[in-house]
Amino acid sequence: MTFFELYKLSGMAYPYRRYMTLLAAVPPASAAMVLYPLHLISARRTHFENNFPYTLGVLLPLLTAGVPLGRAVARLAEVEDDKYIARELSLVVRDMVVMGSSPIDALVHSAERVPSQNYRETVSVLARSSRITERLDAVLMARLDWMLRQKQMRAASLVRSIAVLFEIYVIAAQLLPILLFIIALSLSPLGTLRIGGISLDPLTVMVLAGLIYSPLIGLVFYIIFDSSIKNI
């Protein structure tokens, strides 16, 4: 009795189509295992880069009022709106309560697992400043002021870029189809122009521009605008 017959009699053998289905499912599953962590990293980075200055804006009054850093972070974890930042602050509180770490050490450990340059730099500034001064509120004030100025500069640059992109969008998505229709209508007395087996009469140009070209260009510019706004 051959090995295949033993394997078949054992009940573990599957039909050929099931093998093909399993093999076809391997590449998507492997891609998902790689892409999903990358998506989470990108989402965490975006949330921290965009919303962490506002988190500091809530932390700063607590430190100015004399609340200890550990208690301020614990309170901040309770009221934080951003779920990614709130979860990370909860992990910081867990390190302080369960592991017995100091607030600075817990924040340093947190910075090692957060893919945000602003967050890491802020924690690094706090760690260095805690060795030479107890006025962490003044340090955070300067850091927050710098971060807000950077956001203002990026926002101003984004406004200028969007203005230029909107002009390009109007020309590419609105004026160009109209211009092509006018040209096709003007040349229609000379006969129908054929390109790649397609008759470019005025009606065909209108249909292609209205149903294919304009929606496609609109989608491309929507993705560009959306990605630009998320990077503020």
Q: How confident is the model at residue 135 (pLDDT cuts 50, 70, 90)?
A: confident
- pLDDT for residue 123: 92
Q: Which of 134, 161, 178 is the last residue of a domain?
A: 134
Same domain, 186 and 129: no
**Total domain count, the chain:** 2
Going by pLDDT thresholds of 50, 70 and 90, the confidence category of residue 228 is confident
Q: Quick one: 188 and 225 in the same domain?
A: yes
Same-domain check for residues 206 and 178: yes
Find the angle CA(98)-CA(41)-CA(145) to the nearest 5 degrees. Answer: 80
Same domain, 103 and 54: yes
Write out pLDDT tens, residues 20-34.
666 676 677 677 777
pLDDT of 14 > 80? The answer is no
pLDDT tier, 192 (very low <50, low <70, confident <90, very high otherwise): low
Is residue 144 domain-resident? no
Q: Are residues 44 and 111 in the same domain?
A: yes
At residue 55, the pLDDT reads 92
The token pair that represents 4 in the structure block: 């295949």
Asked whether residue 199 is domain-assigned, the answer is yes
Q: Which of 134, 133, 137, 109 is nearest to 123 (CA)?
A: 109
In a domain? residue 72: yes
Name the domain boundary from 102, 134, 166: 134
Same domain? For 125 and 163 the reply is no
Q: What local confidence, expressed as pLDDT, does residue 1 receive? A: 52
Token pair listed for 47: 């949330």
pLDDT value for 120 = 92
- Same domain for 192 and 122, yes or no, is no
**Residue 141 belongs to some domain of the structure:** no
Q: What is the pLDDT of residue 230?
A: 66
Q: Which residue has the higher pLDDT, 32 or 86?
A: 86
> Residue 87 pLDDT more than 90?
yes
Residue 20 falls inside a structural domain: no
- Dihedral angle, C-alpha 126, 127, 128, 130, nearest 10 °: 80
| 146 within domain boundaries | no
Q: What's the half-sphere exposure (Cβ side, CA atoms, 13 Å) at 15?
A: 3
Lowest-pLDDT range, 55-64, 181-190, 209-218?
Answer: 181-190
Residues 119 and 75 in one domain: yes
Helix or strand (DSSP H, E) at 216: helix 214-230
- Examine the domain organization and report whether 124 and 164 are in the same domain: no
Query: Looking at the structure, do residues 224 and 159 belong to the same domain, yes or no?
Result: yes
The verdict on 113 and 49 lying in the same domain is: yes
The residue among 51 and 226 whose pLDDT is bigger is: 51
Question: What is the domain range of residue 44?
Answer: 38-134
pLDDT in tens, 207-223: 778 888 888 888 888 88
Indicate whether 123 and 54 sit together in one domain. yes
Could you tell me if residue 145 is inside a domain? Answer: no
Q: Is residue 120 part of a domain?
A: yes
